[in-house]
Structure 1
Amino acid sequence: MNKNFYDAIKERRSIYAISKESPISDERIKEIVEDIVKHVPSAFNSQTTRTVILLGESHDKLWDITMEALRKIVPVSDFASTEGKINSFKGGYGTVLFFEDFGMVESLQQQFELYKDNFPVWAVQTSGMMQFSVWTAFATEGLGASLQHYTELIDAGVKKEFNIPSTWKMMAQMPFGKIVAGAGEKAFNPIEDRVKVLK
């Protein structure tokens, strides 16, 4: 689906009401993620981002792992809302997991001593660009998505379940699926407080 770049950015929203359907094929989902991982820039062309696309049972398993991790720390009296939220993500079609390979980051720190403190920061910046790009691309294809950060709670369980290398640091989870209900109105702070032009 071809859309103006600026319109695509405006249409990218956090969509929580998603279903176990997709308006595009699994192959197209894979193609989108591959193209973005290939072409989004990274410092020193380091290409440290890694992604895992979970579909079907693998997607369900991720959110089962998350549910059980949360069950251990959320009080029983408060768990109903947590359970509802996790089930809404599990109710989607799939999830993209975003990682940065910190084995490569450490290697770059050794190679370029002068910039060693910057490489972890640059890896986070690269991951943010990747997440935004996939999210926006999904929106242009009619997929609803949101960005989640259960990272520390589920990192060990996810790595064990899906055989993820130990050097990959999980950055975010992006559940996606066919849009059941759109996002509500979004409030914006005054743009003049956020953008300055100096001459």
Structure 2
Amino acid sequence: MSSQYLDLVEKRRTIYALGKKVTQTPDEIVELAERAIELSPSAFNNQTTRAVFLFNENHDKLWDLTLERLRPEVPTEEAFKSTQAKIEGFKAAFGTILFYTDTDVVKEFENNFALYADNFADWAEQGQGNAQFNVWTAFANEGIGANLQHYNPLIDDEVKAAFNIPDNWKLRAQLPFGSIEQPAGEKEFMDREDRFKVLK
């Protein structure tokens, strides 16, 4: 069997040491990510995933407001210094993608397909995973590193106000990306016997 696809999947790693030395332009990065999201499967092809691309001062603004929002949540000054160092690492990246779910579309499908109404929120989350993974992997194929963060819902209100986000968009994840300044470490896998069941 060909392993070309799995070789590409293996390149997708969580990269925390990110920089701004990417060779692609913002327009090229946006085009790549938009296409990856468009090609991602979603339940009933309802395409609930939305994305906001932040570069330059908008990228910086996101991580500055995230740090300030976290300040009252961190119990000690020492712990806050650790949090600050982590946020500064994200800010050092070239840009960030904010992934959203359009809740109006979810509600529309809940109403139109009552038999499956209880599933559409879960399916939208699965659609998010598909889109995020595809963008992340497409970036890896171009030598762009990334890591996936979830400061939602803590930062939702601040981000909504800062970037004029529609009320019906629900923040699901943040993907800072940039040049790979240090590779990821060795990845460990649990025993397959504990994870998989094969019936022949």
**If the TM-score is normalised by the length of the shorter chain, which range does it land in?**
over 0.9
Aligned to 1:94: 95
Aligned to 1:113: 114
1:150 partner amino acid = Y
Shift of 1:45: 0.8
Shift of 1:21: 2.4
Shift of 1:94: 0.2
1:185 partner amino acid = E
Aligned to 2:71: 71
CA distances 1:82-125 after superposition (whole Å, capped 9, x unpaired): 00000000000000110000111011111111111000000000
Moved more, 188-197 or 170-179: 188-197
Quote the Cα distance in structure 2 between the aligned partners of 1:16 and 1:37.
Answer: 23
Quote the Cα distance in structure 2 between the aligned partners of 1:118 and 1:10.
Answer: 31
Gaps of 5+ in 1: none
Aligned to 2:47: 47
Given that 2:37 and 2:134 are in contact with CA atoms closer than 8 Å, whether structure 1 keeps it comes out as no
Quote the Cα distance in structure 2 between the aligned partners of 1:77 and 1:182.
Answer: 27
CA distances 1:49-88 after superposition (whole Å, capped 9, x unpaired): 1001111111000001100000121122311110000000
Moved more, 89-98 or 72-81: 72-81
Q: Give me the TM-score of the superposition, normalised by structure 1.
A: 0.96
Quote the Cα distance in structure 2 between the aligned partners of 1:73 and 1:181.
Answer: 30
Given that 1:144 and 1:179 are in contact with CA atoms closer than 8 Å, whether structure 2 keeps it comes out as yes
CA distances 1:24-43 after superposition (whole Å, capped 9, x unpaired): 22122111111112111110
Shift of 1:8: 1.1
CA distances 1:141-188 after superposition (whole Å, capped 9, x unpaired): 011100000011111111111001011011100000001000011111
Given that 1:143 and 1:176 are in contact with CA atoms closer than 8 Å, whether structure 2 keeps it comes out as yes
Aligned to 2:174: 173
Quote the Cα distance in structure 2 between the aligned partners of 1:79 and 1:85.
Answer: 10
Quote the Cα distance in structure 2 between the aligned partners of 1:78 and 1:139.
Answer: 32
Aligned to 1:10: 10
Gaps of 5+ in 2: none
Aligned to 1:62: 62
2:91 partner amino acid = K
Aligned residues: 197
Q: Give me the TM-score of the superposition, normalised by structure 2.
A: 0.95
2:145 partner amino acid = G
Aligned-residue sequence identity (percent) comes to 52
Shift of 1:4: 2.7
